[in-house]
Amino acid sequence: MAGTVGIVGVGNMGGGMAGRLLEQGWRVQACDLVEARVQALVRQGARAAASPREAAEGAQALIVCVVDAAQSREVLFGPAGAAAALASGRAVLLCPTVSPQDVESLASGLEAQGLAAIDSPMSGGPVRAREGSMSLMVACADAVYEANRPLLETLSGQVFRIGTRLGDGARTKLVNNLLAGINLAGAAEAIGLAGRLGLDLARTLDVIEQSSGQSWIGSDRMRRAIAGDYAPRAHVTLLQKDTGLALQAARAAGFEASLGPAAHEAFNRAAAAGDAGLDDAALLRLFLP
């Protein structure tokens, strides 16, 4: 049942998703501001699209995989926006981590043009996106979900059906990313302490990975930070943004967070120190001598 899918934003995650779809026999129309990313997919069989509108032409669904709500709005409703090129009834997968209110606003704009929104933030990193093993947190109408099930299940073997209320995918992702940020900040602080105590960092992480302090994001990020590898897979600015959005949602719900603000401040400090464009493993640099 493979068909044609447009993807706008083929960076680390979007590029992995596009590669997965191509491998599984889908036709992909790829658009990105960075031409080299598009050409890498063209070599795998994708068609280059010069604009979001071109990426959407003839597609049975459009995947939006940009950074934030402002970029999503431009992709969909800007001068070269994709929404105008999609046939009535087609679906748009909203994959960026944005606020629930932004999901609702984007969905309302799509509905006004006869289109359906799938609130579908993702988690797991580029390797898992390419393998089809990342998590997708999906909220949309039941009929929309069923119509797009083949695409969703091609993208991920871990599709979590959150419900029908648009914005609940975003809410779930913010809860997840707040914990990811707390875990990463905690791991960086602990490994920083190990350094101050004169311990071997790699050996200490070996112990943590087999003990009660283990977390996936801590192991993943600290292992490459110890090796001095800060090539960006997920920039510092992403969890800086996401923890901020999670705290905003917490305030709106009347929830008083205590650890979240400390983690968010660690990402703010890393960005202010000039590490905004580095991988978020660079958080360790805050705690080393």
CA distances from residue 126 to 14, 41, 83, 232, 248 in whole angstroms, order as listed: 8, 14, 26, 11, 27
**CA 148 from chain center: how many Å?**
20
**Token match 């598009």: residue?**
38
Give the span between the Cα atoms of 97 and 141, in whole angstroms: 20
Give yes or no: 241 in active site.
no
From the candidates 73, 90, 130, 173, give the one annotated as an active-site residue: 173
Amino acid residing at 126: P
CB atoms within 10 A of CB 228: 8
284 near 196, Cβ under 8 Å? no
Provide long-range contacts, Cβ within 8 A and 24+ apart, for 39-42. Answer: 40/15, 41/10, 41/15
Write phi, then psi, for 48 (nearest 5 degrees).
-75, 135
Give the span between the Cα atoms of 110 and 129, in whole angstroms: 26
Active site residues: 173
